[in-house]
Amino acid sequence: MLRGPGATDVALTVNGESVTVHGAPRRTLLDTLRETLALTGTKKVCDEGTCGACTVLVDGRPVYSCMTLAVACEGKSIETIEGIAKDGELHPVQRAFIDADAFQCGFCTPGQIMSIVALLRENAGPTEDDVRRAVAGNLCRCGAYPNIVKAGVSAGKRR
Protein backbone atom coordinates (compact mmCIF):
# COMPACT_ATOMS: atom_id res chain seq x y z
CA MET A 1 0.00 0.00 0.00
CA LEU A 2 1.32 3.40 -0.96
CA ARG A 3 1.89 5.58 2.10
CA GLY A 4 2.83 9.15 2.86
CA PRO A 5 4.21 11.67 2.59
CA GLY A 6 1.64 12.82 5.18
CA ALA A 7 0.73 11.10 8.42
CA THR A 8 -0.90 7.71 8.02
CA ASP A 9 -2.68 5.05 10.06
CA VAL A 10 -0.78 1.91 10.98
CA ALA A 11 -2.43 -1.12 12.54
CA LEU A 12 -0.25 -3.02 14.98
CA THR A 13 -0.67 -5.65 17.63
CA VAL A 14 1.21 -4.48 20.70
CA ASN A 15 1.53 -6.86 23.63
CA GLY A 16 -1.47 -8.76 22.35
CA GLU A 17 -3.74 -5.76 21.84
CA SER A 18 -4.73 -4.32 18.48
CA VAL A 19 -3.91 -0.65 18.14
CA THR A 20 -4.01 1.80 15.28
CA VAL A 21 -1.51 4.59 15.49
CA HIS A 22 -1.40 7.68 13.36
CA GLY A 23 1.96 9.17 12.46
CA ALA A 24 4.42 10.24 9.80
CA PRO A 25 5.80 7.34 7.74
CA ARG A 26 9.33 8.25 8.87
CA ARG A 27 8.40 7.69 12.51
CA THR A 28 10.34 4.88 14.14
CA LEU A 29 8.75 2.03 16.02
CA LEU A 30 10.71 3.22 19.07
CA ASP A 31 9.18 6.71 19.04
CA THR A 32 5.78 5.24 18.33
CA LEU A 33 6.01 2.94 21.34
CA ARG A 34 7.39 5.56 23.68
CA GLU A 35 5.56 8.69 22.64
CA THR A 36 2.33 7.53 21.00
CA LEU A 37 1.63 4.46 23.10
CA ALA A 38 3.33 5.64 26.32
CA LEU A 39 5.27 2.38 26.54
CA THR A 40 8.41 4.01 27.93
CA GLY A 41 9.99 0.80 29.20
CA THR A 42 11.77 0.53 25.84
CA LYS A 43 14.70 2.94 26.05
CA LYS A 44 16.31 5.32 23.58
CA VAL A 45 20.07 5.38 24.07
CA CYS A 46 21.75 5.92 20.69
CA ASP A 47 18.82 6.11 18.23
CA GLU A 48 21.13 4.76 15.53
CA GLY A 49 21.27 1.02 15.96
CA THR A 50 24.47 0.69 17.96
CA CYS A 51 23.46 -0.18 21.53
CA GLY A 52 20.44 -2.49 21.67
CA ALA A 53 18.60 -0.64 24.46
CA CYS A 54 15.49 -0.33 22.27
CA THR A 55 15.24 -4.04 21.50
CA VAL A 56 11.66 -5.31 21.13
CA LEU A 57 10.25 -8.41 19.48
CA VAL A 58 8.54 -8.12 16.10
CA ASP A 59 6.73 -11.36 15.26
CA GLY A 60 8.97 -12.99 17.85
CA ARG A 61 12.28 -11.74 16.45
CA PRO A 62 14.41 -9.24 18.35
CA VAL A 63 14.85 -5.96 16.46
CA TYR A 64 16.27 -2.56 17.22
CA SER A 65 13.09 -0.49 17.31
CA CYS A 66 15.06 2.70 16.58
CA MET A 67 16.02 1.20 13.20
CA THR A 68 12.52 -0.01 12.39
CA LEU A 69 9.79 2.19 10.98
CA ALA A 70 6.36 1.81 12.51
CA VAL A 71 4.78 1.62 9.04
CA ALA A 72 6.96 -1.40 8.29
CA CYS A 73 5.26 -3.20 11.18
CA GLU A 74 1.72 -2.99 9.76
CA GLY A 75 -0.16 -6.08 10.86
CA LYS A 76 2.74 -7.40 12.89
CA SER A 77 2.88 -8.41 16.50
CA ILE A 78 5.12 -6.29 18.73
CA GLU A 79 6.20 -7.40 22.19
CA THR A 80 7.81 -5.00 24.63
CA ILE A 81 9.14 -5.25 28.16
CA GLU A 82 5.69 -4.21 29.44
CA GLY A 83 4.05 -7.22 27.82
CA ILE A 84 6.07 -10.24 28.93
CA ALA A 85 4.81 -10.60 32.49
CA LYS A 86 1.62 -12.67 32.39
CA ASP A 87 -1.25 -12.54 34.89
CA GLY A 88 0.81 -10.55 37.36
CA GLU A 89 3.64 -13.11 37.23
CA LEU A 90 7.03 -11.92 36.11
CA HIS A 91 8.49 -13.63 33.06
CA PRO A 92 11.17 -16.17 34.06
CA VAL A 93 13.83 -13.91 32.52
CA GLN A 94 12.66 -10.97 34.61
CA ARG A 95 12.79 -13.09 37.74
CA ALA A 96 16.22 -14.38 36.81
CA PHE A 97 17.49 -10.82 36.34
CA ILE A 98 16.36 -9.88 39.85
CA ASP A 99 17.78 -13.06 41.39
CA ALA A 100 21.16 -12.72 39.64
CA ASP A 101 21.42 -8.95 40.26
CA ALA A 102 21.77 -8.57 36.50
CA PHE A 103 21.37 -4.80 36.35
CA GLN A 104 22.66 -1.70 38.06
CA CYS A 105 21.21 1.51 36.66
CA GLY A 106 18.69 -0.58 34.74
CA PHE A 107 18.61 1.49 31.57
CA CYS A 108 19.79 -1.30 29.27
CA THR A 109 17.78 -3.92 31.15
CA PRO A 110 14.57 -3.96 29.06
CA GLY A 111 16.63 -4.48 25.90
CA GLN A 112 18.79 -7.19 27.48
CA ILE A 113 15.72 -9.02 28.75
CA MET A 114 13.95 -8.90 25.36
CA SER A 115 17.04 -10.30 23.63
CA ILE A 116 17.12 -13.21 26.06
CA VAL A 117 13.36 -13.79 25.85
CA ALA A 118 13.79 -14.20 22.09
CA LEU A 119 16.72 -16.56 22.62
CA LEU A 120 14.77 -18.80 25.00
CA ARG A 121 12.00 -19.28 22.46
CA GLU A 122 14.55 -20.71 20.03
CA ASN A 123 16.69 -22.47 22.58
CA ALA A 124 15.14 -23.46 25.89
CA GLY A 125 18.42 -24.44 27.54
CA PRO A 126 21.04 -21.94 26.43
CA THR A 127 24.70 -22.16 27.42
CA GLU A 128 26.67 -19.14 28.60
CA ASP A 129 27.98 -18.69 25.06
CA ASP A 130 24.45 -18.78 23.65
CA VAL A 131 23.43 -16.01 26.05
CA ARG A 132 26.53 -13.99 25.20
CA ARG A 133 25.69 -14.22 21.53
CA ALA A 134 22.10 -13.17 22.20
CA VAL A 135 23.09 -10.01 24.09
CA ALA A 136 26.24 -9.21 22.09
CA GLY A 137 24.30 -6.30 20.59
CA ASN A 138 23.14 -4.94 23.94
CA LEU A 139 25.55 -2.53 25.64
CA CYS A 140 25.61 -2.22 29.43
CA ARG A 141 27.68 0.70 30.72
CA CYS A 142 27.50 -0.37 34.36
CA GLY A 143 29.16 -3.68 33.48
CA ALA A 144 26.47 -6.06 34.69
CA TYR A 145 27.41 -8.52 31.93
CA PRO A 146 28.59 -11.42 34.14
CA ASN A 147 25.26 -11.42 35.98
CA ILE A 148 23.27 -10.96 32.76
CA VAL A 149 24.88 -14.13 31.41
CA LYS A 150 24.09 -15.97 34.66
CA ALA A 151 20.50 -14.75 34.53
CA GLY A 152 20.08 -15.93 30.94
CA VAL A 153 21.35 -19.43 31.70
CA SER A 154 19.28 -19.78 34.86
CA ALA A 155 16.12 -18.46 33.16
CA GLY A 156 16.52 -21.30 30.68
CA LYS A 157 16.85 -23.83 33.47
CA ARG A 158 13.80 -22.63 35.36
CA ARG A 159 11.42 -22.69 32.40
Q: Using CB under 8 A as the criterion, which residues of the chain lie in contact with other proteins when the complex forms?
A: 24, 34-35, 38-48, 50-51, 53, 80-82, 85, 90, 94, 97-99, 101, 103-110, 113, 132, 135-136, 138-149
Residue nearer to other proteins on the CB measure, 24 or 58: 24
Q: Would you tell me how many other CB atoms lie within 10 Å of the CB of residue 123?
A: 13
Distance, in Å, from the CA atom of 63 to the CA atom of 76, rounded to the nearest integer, reads 13
**Considering beta carbons, is residue 1 or 116 the nearer one to other proteins?**
116
Cis, bond preceding 5 (omega within 30 deg of 0): yes
Residue 3 or 132: the one with the smaller Cβ distance to other proteins is 132
- Least Å distance, CB 72 to other proteins, is 18
Q: Which is nearer to other proteins, 11 or 142 (CB)?
A: 142
Q: What is the smallest separation between the CB atom of 99 and other proteins, expressed in angstroms?
A: 7
Question: Could you tell me the smallest distance in angstroms from the CB atom of residue 115 to other proteins?
Answer: 10
| DSSP H or E run through 30 | helix 29-31
Nearer to other proteins, 75 or 129 (CB): 129
Question: What is the nearest approach in angstroms of other proteins to the Cβ of residue 35?
Answer: 7
Closest distance to other proteins from the beta carbon of 78 (Å)? 14
Inter-residue contact 55 to 62 (CB < 8 Å): yes
Alpha carbon separation from 86 to 83, 89, 104 (Å, rounded):
8, 5, 24
Q: What is the DSSP string of 35-104?
A: IIS--TTS--SSSSSSS-TTEEEETTEEEEGGGSBGGGGTT-EEE-GGGSSBTTBPPHHHHHHHHTT--S
